Amino acid sequence: MQAFLNKLDEHLRTKRADYYATLQPGLSAAAIAALEQTYNVTLPADLRALYQWKNGQQADSYEAFVNNAMFLSLQHALDSASELTGMIGTDFEMENWWHPAWIPIWDNGGGDYICYDTAGVFTGIKGQLIEFWHADNDRDTIAPDLTAFINSINQLYATTDKKDFDEYFEVKAPDGYPKGNFAGEPGKR
């Protein structure tokens, strides 16, 4: 994972320097442990590595990190996950509209997220990335794991000229993805 993050860091510094400047410094292991304790969660190693690299982007930065979505700080991600989990059974009555195992990492600002799935809902693959849409029940799995997704981002940067990055760009999903899932379908737990 670290090699992929190092490559991503290089791409962002050279191809999107203004955006790169909005990324917050990575968290220490102690800071991550404190957030894990506060939110009663244990982060998988690859997600820890992501947040040790960078702790999301500044709150006043609205530029997309990937797929028209901003990179959330870990505290914001865990706070959002907690809030959304608290809505299960009241606001969210359909099975897997939201799942307590999902941690939103990227947010489009309109209530839609790319989430890290710690349980492997729908497919049984822990660590997969799921798209959460607030207004419809599509819950596509867009990558088998965070490393594959970061690798896809790196491939985009390696094949896209600096001048071709604008406010919206979408990463090509890894081979075999996305996998269509829908809230209301039973997930594997």
For residue 143, the one-letter residue type is A
- Give the per-residue pLDDT at 26: 99
CB 144 within 8 A of CB 128: yes
What does the pLDDT average to over 147-170? 89
pLDDT one-digit tens code per residue, 87-114:
888 888 778 889 999 999 999 999 999 9
Whether 146 shows a pLDDT value over 90: the answer reads yes
* Residues facing 138 on adjacent strands: 182
- The CATH T-level fold of domain 2-164 is SMI1/KNR4-like (3.40.1580)
Chain length of the chain: 189
- From CA 43, how far away is CA 49, in angstroms rounded? 10
- Give the per-residue pLDDT at 187: 56
